[in-house]
């Protein structure tokens, strides 16, 4: 069986009893489909990167799962049907979004594109690759701009003197789009056979003064973490 990680974000007003019910319901779904819950972690109430249906926070529940990854291989096979060449890497333990990069065979003289598996986008990957090369980057992260509404009235003051109040201002922030371009030197900074996320890698690159750049994207980009997300899009 392959190992997977899955995080559920519940509404911020979800009660502990409802969280327990949600966890039990999800576990039954996994087991019904021949999977196994290896570990469950309750991360508590955390801020969201951007609003989801006006919610600013969410209650995070993280699952580590053993599942039948062979279903994906059986469907796509070697990619011949789709005009591409597909190979598969099986992790013996979860290695994070960057931890498995040292285990795959890559061309050491050319950068590679890494993208999260649940990202569907109209982004031109050739443009990202050209951008990476033009900027002589060691690593490139695609980002998109989203509006973030502050739930409070923001007060401006000088010392104790009131100057102004702005009711629930909206600010624009850049968020990670889950698409990256990496040189071999960047990949070599990831530890062997250890859990390592892409955020860890970019932080390490920055500390080592490597050339890390961002690529702003404006095309449509959606993340589909489940079949329900896809069904909603179809509607």
Catalytic residues: 168
* Contact status, residue 192 vs residue 99, Cβ threshold 8 Å: no
96: left (phi over 0), alpha (psi -120 to 50) or beta: left
* Beta carbons within 8 Å of 1's beta carbon, 6+ residues apart: 35, 36, 66, 67, 68, 69
Cα gap 187→192, rounded to integer Å? 10
Which two three-digit tokens encode residue 72?
Answer: 């994906």
Contact 39, 64 (CB under 8 A): yes
SS3 of residue 194 by DSSP: coil
Cα distances from 121 to residues 93, 221, 225, in angstroms, run: 29, 4, 14
Q: Is the CB of residue 63 less than 8 Å from the CB of residue 5?
A: yes
Q: Are 59 and 45 in contact (CB under 8 A)?
A: yes
């Amino acid at each position: 069986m392959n190992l997977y990680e899955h995080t559920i974000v519940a509404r911020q007003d979800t009660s502990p009893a409802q969280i327990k019910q949600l966890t039990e319901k999800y576990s039954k779904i996994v087991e019904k489909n021949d999977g196994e819950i290896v570990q469950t972690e309750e991360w508590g109430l955390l801020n969201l990167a951007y609003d989801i249906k006006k919610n600013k926070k969410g209650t995070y529940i993280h699952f580590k799962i053993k599942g039948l990854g062979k279903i994906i291989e059986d469907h796509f096979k070697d990619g011949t049907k789709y005009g591409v060449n597909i190979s598969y890497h099986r992790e013996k333990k979860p290695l994070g979004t960057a931890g498995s990069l040292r285990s795959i065979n890559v061309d050491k003289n050319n950068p590679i594109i890494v993208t999260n598996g649940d990202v569907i986008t109209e982004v031109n990957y050739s443009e990202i690759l050209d951008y990476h090369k033009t900027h002589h980057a060691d690593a490139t992260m695609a980002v998109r701009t989203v509006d973030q509404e502050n739930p409070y009235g923001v007060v401006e003051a000088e010392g104790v003197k009131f100057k102004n109040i702005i009711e629930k201002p909206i600010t624009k922030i850049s968020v990670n789009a889950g698409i990256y371009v990496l040189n071999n030197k960047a990949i070599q900074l990831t530890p062997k056979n250890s859990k390592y996320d892409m955020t860890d890698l970019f932080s390490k690159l920055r500390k080592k003064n490597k050339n890390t750049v961002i690529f702003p994207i404006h095309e449509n980009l959606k993340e589909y973490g489940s079949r329900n997300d896809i069904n909603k899009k179809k509607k």
